[in-house]
Amino acid sequence: MNAEQELLTPELTSQLDRLDVLARLLVEGFLTGLHRSPYHGFSAEFAEYRRYQPGEPATNIDWRVYARSDRVYQRVFAEETNLRGTLLLDCSASMRFTGDERRPTKLAYGRVLAACLAYLLLRQNDAVGLVAFDERPLLRVPARSVRRQLFQVLKGLREAPAGQGTDLGPVLHDVAERIPRRGLVMLVSDLMDEPDQVLSGLKHFRHRGHEVLVLQILDPREVDLDFPGEVEFSSLEDPSLTLRTEPAHVREGYRDRLDGWRARMRRECRRHLIDLVELTTDQPVGAALGAYLMKRGRLH
């Protein structure tokens, strides 16, 4: 099974085909002004004909077709895009968690979600690259918009190793300094690190003119702590850290702290014009993408 087949199943690809119109809202509405090329129609690849609408510029009318058919059609070109999308996939050990063996780990879910975003953006002729990381970058795929890029990104997503510790802030700062021009940065992560450092890294992207989309992935049991009986918890990033307790005894305090952390992330992201989308691994990826893109459509 190749990388594309492994991450984009026929069922999911079918869902994404129906989301193509919604994807256009992401790259034309959400990124107004970044996606328009000044070289439209110049040394660009011809895509299709469509009927000329009164009031449109006559620059691309095909008069030979008019002479043959007495109908006015214009040539539509596939633009060279100005948009550079960068996918950042968190591969740290905490992303390997799943609270139910019937559900994917956060990392497996994130790989598919990143694959979907790459698929949608490349369908719009946008350049897409990938950085997989834990405490440091583990794998890079430079951003390109060529046809083979989907395979390269999916290959990178499949081969990105499961990492160890988390150090989100420095990694985000490092990547922000390396992206050569403004574009769309898409972070796929559980965001489980020091909030000040995470927010500092995200604000660095905004300071450099990027649009930022954060897709936070949590397991449902990380949200509700709904474990029966006595449970021993151990850190995936530091197995020496363990805690044995009955979740029912600590659930209320845990949820209060979790809600406070999530509320702060929402508030700070909103304040700095960063789009934060909260997802759990029990949501179908296609449905999650559709809900987000429809939200963007309503906002624009």
217 with 239, same domain?
yes
For 222-255, the pLDDT digits (tens) are 988 877 777 667 666 667 677 677 777 778 888 9
Please report, for the domain that includes residue 295, its CATH number.
3.40.50.410
Q: Return the higher-pLDDT residue of 133 and 233.
A: 133
Do 226 and 184 have their domain in common?
Answer: yes
Question: Residue holding tokens 């550079």?
Answer: 84
What is the tens place of the pLDDT at every residue in 6-20? 566 666 666 556 554
Evaluate whether 217 touches 106 at the Cβ level (below 8 Å).
Answer: yes
Q: Could you give the CA distance from residue 73 to residue 43 in angstroms, rounded to a whole number?
A: 20
Q: How confident is the model at residue 165 (pLDDT cuts 50, 70, 90)?
A: confident
Burial 284-295 (b: 16+ CB within 10 A, else e): ebbebbbebbee
Both tokens assigned to 2: 């190749």
Residue 110 domain-assigned (yes or no): yes
Residue-level pLDDT at 248: 72
- Per the structure block, which two tokens stand in for 61? 């009318």
Positive or negative torsion for Cα 49, 51, 55, 59: positive
What's the pLDDT at 77? 52
What average pLDDT is seen over the chain?
A: 78
Parallel, antiparallel or unpaired: strands 73-78 and 84-90 = unpaired
Q: How far is CA 2 from CA 62, 155, 248, in A?
A: 42, 8, 44
Where does residue 162 rank: exposed (0-12), middle (13-18), buried (19+ CB within 10 A)? Answer: middle
Shared domain check, 73 and 26: no
Could you list the residue range(s) of the whole structural domain that residue 286 is in? Answer: 3-30+81-299
pLDDT of residue 290: 72
Identify whether residues 125 and 270 lie together within a single domain. yes
**How many domains does the chain divide into?**
2
37 domain residue, yes or no: no
Residues 115 and 241 in one domain: yes
Q: Binning pLDDT at 50, 70 and 90, where does residue 40 land?
A: very low
